[in-house]
Amino acid sequence: MGKIMFRSPGRGWTAIIPVLFLCLWLGPVSATEKRPMPDYGRAEPAPPTAAEALRWVPRVLFHPAHVLVERVLRGPLVAVVDWGEEHHVFARLKRFFTWVDGQAGFFPTAFVEFGLNPHVGFYAYLENLLLSHHKLIVRAGFWSDQWIRLAAENRLGVFAGNTGSLVLRAEYTTRPDHLFAGVGLGPDGRSGLLTRYRETLLSVDAGLESKISGLNTVSFWLGFRQTRFGSGQGRSIEEVYDLTDPVLVPGFATYQLAEASAKLALDSRSDQRQWSPGTGLRLELQSALAVDPADSSLAFVRYGGELAGFWDWSGVNHVLGLRLHAEQVSKIGARPVPFTELTSFGGLEYLRGFLAGRLRGQSGAVVTADYRFPVWAFLDADMFVSAGGVFGPDFEGFAVDRTRLSWGFGLRSNNSRDVSFDMMLAFGSSRLDEGSLQVDRVHFVLGINQGY
C-alpha cells in the first residue's frame, strides 16, 4: 500500500502562523484609528508617609552645609584619593607599613591643634602576638620643650565568642602647654586669664570590658596614676594665680591616686552597622572612686551619665543626634580635689569650640545636637551645636544664661576607633550673661588623632 506523506512547514511558516492568527482576531484597523491605551491596573502613586515628609526638614536645613562639604571639602579629597588609587599609591603604602597579612603595622602620625603644641609620632600594632584575639598597640608623640607621650595597650579577647576583652594600659606624658583659666563661674574663669602649666603624668590601668548583647556593654577598671606640675610655656600659671590658694588653684601639688571605676552602656541601635549604628537610644552611666593611697584625706567620687537619641532619616547613615551629658565630682576627704580631676569641657568631645581644659568646675552639663553623614567611603562629616558649662558642687549656680554656645563642623575617618584622621573647625561663645553674645574662641584641629 502506498503511504500518504505530510510534510511539515519550515521554521519560517511556524513563526508566521501566530502573527496571521493575531491579525485575523484583531480585525482591520484604519490608518487613522488610534488604539485605546490598555489599562494595566496601574495604581496612583501613594501619598508620602509622615516619615518621608519629615526627611525634607533636615534636607532643607542642612543643604548649605551639604554644599560646603560636597563642593569645597569632598571634591579635593576624592580627587586626591582617585589619583592615589590610579597610581597604586595607597596599595604601596599599605605594603610598606604593614606586614604578616596586615596583622602588624607601623604608621607615622602628626596632629595640629591651634592653641596647643603640635606633635608628630607613630602608631604601631601587632595582632595575634601570643594567642589568637590578642592585640598589642603602642602610641607615641613628640615635640619641642619636652613634649612627650608614650602609651601602650595590651588587649586580650576573653569569654565565649570573644565577647569580652581584658585590657592593660600604661602611659607616660609630659607637656608644657596645658591650659588653665580658673575654676568655676567667677571672673577667674573668663578668657582674659588664660595661662599654661606643665603636667607630667604616669598611669597604669587594668580593665575588663564585656558585651552584654548587641551594643550593650559593661566595663570595670582599676588604675593608679601620679601627677606632677611645673611651669608652663608662655604665660605660666604662677604669673597670674596664687598657687597656694586652694580656691583659685585647688591641688597644685604632686599627688597620686588609686581609682576604681565602672561604666554601663545600654544601646538600642543595631550592632550590625559599624561606626554609624542608625536609629535608636543610648544611655551611659559611669562612676569612679579615687583615693590617694599615701594620704586618705584626698578622696573623691566622680559620677555622671549621658542620654542620647539618634535618627537615621535616610537609612544610609544620615544621622540626626541629640545628647545630654552631665557629670559631677564630689570630695569625700578633707583635701580639695585637684583641678586636673574636676569636670573639664573643651577639646574634641564636649563644647568643642574651646580648647581642652578651658572650662573647669565641680559639675557640668552639655546638650549637643549634631548631624553626621558620609561624604566618602571612609570619611564622615559632622555638623554640631552645643550649649552648656561648668558649675559649682551639686550644680550650684546653674542657669541657662550662665552657659556658653559652641558650634562647628568636622570630618573624621570611620574605619578605626584606635586612630583616625580628624579635621575640625569649631567656635565657642562668651557666656550668655556677659551682655552681648560673641565668639570667644576658635578651635581648629587637623591630623592623625590617636585614641585613649
As a whole number of angstroms, the distance between CA 389 and CA 393 comes to 13
Grid cell for residue 79: 580627587
Q: What pTM was computed for the model?
A: 0.80
Grid cell for residue 265: 552602656
Cβ burial 56-81 (10 Å sphere, 16+ → b, else e): eebeeebeeebeebeeebbeeeeeeb
To the nearest 10 degrees (0 to 180), the angle between helices 75-86 and 89-97 is 70
At a CB cut-off of 8 Å and minimum separation 6, what does 254 contact?
A: 226, 227, 228, 229
| H/E stretch holding 161 | none
Which amino acid would we find at residue 160? A
**Domains of the chain in sequence order:** 51-450 (2.40.160.50)
Decide: helix, strand or coil at residue 25: helix
As a whole number of angstroms, the distance between CA 160 and CA 137 comes to 23
Question: Of 374, 372, 405, 412, whose CA–CA distance to 388 is shortest?
Answer: 405
Q: How many residues are there in the chain?
A: 452
| H/E stretch holding 314 | none
As a whole number of angstroms, the distance between CA 211 and CA 214 comes to 7
How many CB atoms neighbour CB 302 within 10 A?
19
Report yes or no: 202 and 172 within 8 Å, Cβ to Cβ. Answer: yes
Which amino acid would we find at residue 275? W
Give the angle 196-230-172 at the CA atoms, nearest 5°: 100
Residue-by-residue pLDDT tens, the chain, 452 positions = 444 444 445 455 455 665 555 555 555 555 556 667 666 666 666 777 766 666 666 666 666 666 666 666 667 777 777 787 787 877 787 788 888 888 899 999 999 999 899 999 999 999 987 778 889 999 999 999 999 999 999 999 998 888 899 999 999 999 999 999 887 654 445 545 789 999 999 999 999 999 998 889 999 999 999 999 999 998 999 998 888 888 888 889 999 999 999 999 999 998 876 555 689 999 999 999 999 999 999 999 999 999 999 998 888 888 999 999 999 999 999 999 999 999 999 998 899 999 998 899 999 999 999 998 887 777 888 899 999 999 989 998 888 888 999 999 888 887 776 777 888 999 999 888 877 778 878 899 988 776 65
